[in-house]
Chains A and B, each alone.
Chain A
Amino acid sequence: MTSVVTVDKNPVDSYLRVDRMPHIWCAGCGIGSAVSCFIKAINRAKLDADKIALVSGIGCAGRVAGYVRLDSFHTTHGRALPFATGLKLGNPKLKVVVFSGDGDLVAIGGNHLIHSARRNIDMTVICINNFNYGMTGGQLGPTTPLEARSSTSPYGNFDPPFNLPHLVSASGATYVARWTVIHLRQMERSIAEALVKPGFSFIEVLAPCPTLYGRMNKMGQGVIELRSYQERCVVRNGADPREADIGLSGPIVVGKFVDIDRPTFWDYYIKVFNKAQKKR
């Protein structure tokens, strides 16, 4: 069991494009921590990294594709999921991961989110939820809590947010979990589970945005936002996703909400395929 470290290299470096470090995310941004967890989860799940295809959209979380040393695609805003669907259906042996943000996956990409979950395409989606549109300066998004400040809700948000675990599980996802970047071990284990599980897996990761959302809501330093997660979060595995709303204050329910089995899109397609072969 002994292993000797001959080179002083961060173990995650083998999955990073080290020629592009340091990355562009702000000091204290939660995305880097989520990527770290993701890389560790790949090892935990013992995946063949050559077969992983990572697709991201536009936004801060969208930049993940550029920093991981995997076959990676930085696509257009909101369209990571259909692009990933094409990849998976084109080569079902690929392990497809979508890594993007709340605005990209839920606002402009909302239609694709519910349909991909409905189809139960075999892929893992990691949705970084920092409650705003970070890359463009901190505008409100479909997950911004009511009354929160943002650059387009200076008087407080009046646009009720989605409850993502509820939305995605109602659409048919077979694995739905929510963690924060302070729940490192659980998140790593959850991602590893999701990577290996067939079907549409969705993991919402609450992440601090100290520069924008945090600063505009009196959590100007990452540690303050992380401490707020520690205080407010309640781990309830198996909780009803309907109870997973997030407000500006009050408890945040995290955990693994849904872990069920359902035939994937490919399972259904194989049946059709066999039928068509017989009719030739």
Chain B
Amino acid sequence: MKLWRKPFDQEEKAVRPPRVIIDKDRCKGCEYCVEFCPTGALAMSQEANAKGYLLPRAADERKCVACGLCEAICPDFAIFVISANGEE
């Protein structure tokens, strides 16, 4: 993030990217998370789970803003976001 006035506590309060956790056993490769992620932080991978479903992955975690849309839309309860700043 480009700032032209630097806050004194920028180091402590730096925005750390949220973590996207994908449950590989639950996912069925429907691609809703990838399709509807507003920042394009997710993409489909080439990895398949034991049932043969292609899994998504966090393509660029820095783009994730923890909006939680993937978590809300996933029909399989297979993806959720942990906001690193501790605010949910």
Q: Which residue from A13, A27, A185 sits with its C-beta under 8 Å from B28?
A: A27
Interface size on A, residues (CB 8 A): 36
What residues of B have a CB within 8 angstroms of the CB of A37 in the complex?
A: 72
**A10 vs B79: C-alpha distance when bound (angstroms):** 7
Q: Which residue from A2, A36, A182 sits with its C-beta under 8 Å from B74?
A: A36
- B30 and A27 form a contact (CB under 8 A): yes
- A10 and B23 form a contact (CB under 8 A): yes
A8 within 8 A of B: yes
A184 within 8 A of B: yes
Interface size on B, residues (CB 8 A): 26
Task: How many A-B residue pairs have C-beta atoms within 8 angstroms? Tell me.
Answer: 87
Contact with A along B46-81 (1 / 0, CB 8 A): 000000010000000000000001011111111010
Contact with A along B33-46 (1 / 0, CB 8 A): 00110000000000
> How far, in Å, is A81 (CB) from chain B's closest CB?
25
- B75 and A32 form a contact (CB under 8 A): yes
B82 within 8 A of A: yes
**A10 vs B27: C-alpha distance when bound (angstroms):** 13
Q: Which residue from A11, A184, A221 sits with its C-beta under 8 Å from B80?
A: A11
> How far, in Å, is B80 (CB) from chain A's closest CB?
5
Query: Can you list 29 A-B contacts with CB-CB less than 8 angstroms, sorted by A residue number?
Result: A5-B82, A8-B82, A10-B21, A10-B23, A10-B71, A10-B78, A10-B80, A11-B80, A21-B77, A22-B28, A22-B78, A23-B76, A25-B75, A27-B28, A27-B75, A28-B30, A28-B32, A33-B74, A36-B71, A37-B72, A40-B72, A181-B75, A185-B72, A210-B30, A221-B31, A222-B32, A223-B30, A223-B32, A226-B32
